[in-house]
Amino acid sequence: KLEQANLELEKLSFMDSLTQVANRRRFDERLHVLWYHHIREKLPLTIMLCDIDFFKDYNDCYGHQQGDEALIRVAAVFKQVVNRSSDCVARYGGEEFGFILPNTTTEGAEQVAQRIHQQIRLLDMEHGSSEASEHLSVSIGFVSYVPQHGDEPEMGIAMADSALYQAKADGRNRTCIHPSSF
């Protein structure tokens, strides 16, 4: 029983309790392992960051309980779309989610991003205080490339974050690809 309890505690330490996806700690750990594997094997790796657009305004308009429900529903979409056993879906912080897509090129990542946007639209969750859409929407930024010796995982995160920033600057409810992607 103690061993089972310890396994359960370990699982909980890597899981976001609200959304039931991996947490930031698990994301960082998986990225570290996958990053160096992809350097060794010379494989493409995609790091994707995704923000719910104007989520603070959503919480202010509909309340935190409805905000939590939105996070749960959006995370369920992410798990449905980003579903290979090697992929990692994580709540990166607040309304930001991160995805690690091993052995995925820009083309494959674009398809994933398109499916995410489609499925979020199908949720049909009203967002009356959004400047991007009358329904809940997301902004996505990603980088797809083969990490090189000397590159650090934080570099990949910074590139994905830069692309996410560009998606927001361009009006949100869209995907931007970092120029280093191939």
Q: Which residues are catalytic, by number?
A: 95
Q: Calculate Rg over the CA atoms of the chain.
A: 17
116 within 8 A of 126, measured Cβ to Cβ = no
Looking at the chain, list the stretches that DSSP marks H as alpha helix, in order from N- to C-terminal side: 2-13, 24-41, 55-62, 64-81, 106-123, 153-169
* 120, burial (CB in 10 Å: exposed 0-12, middle 13-18, buried 19+): buried
87 within 8 A of 156, measured Cβ to Cβ = no
Question: Phi-psi region for residue 51, left (φ > 0), alpha (ψ -120 to 50) or beta?
Answer: beta
Q: What is the DSSP letter of 93?
A: E
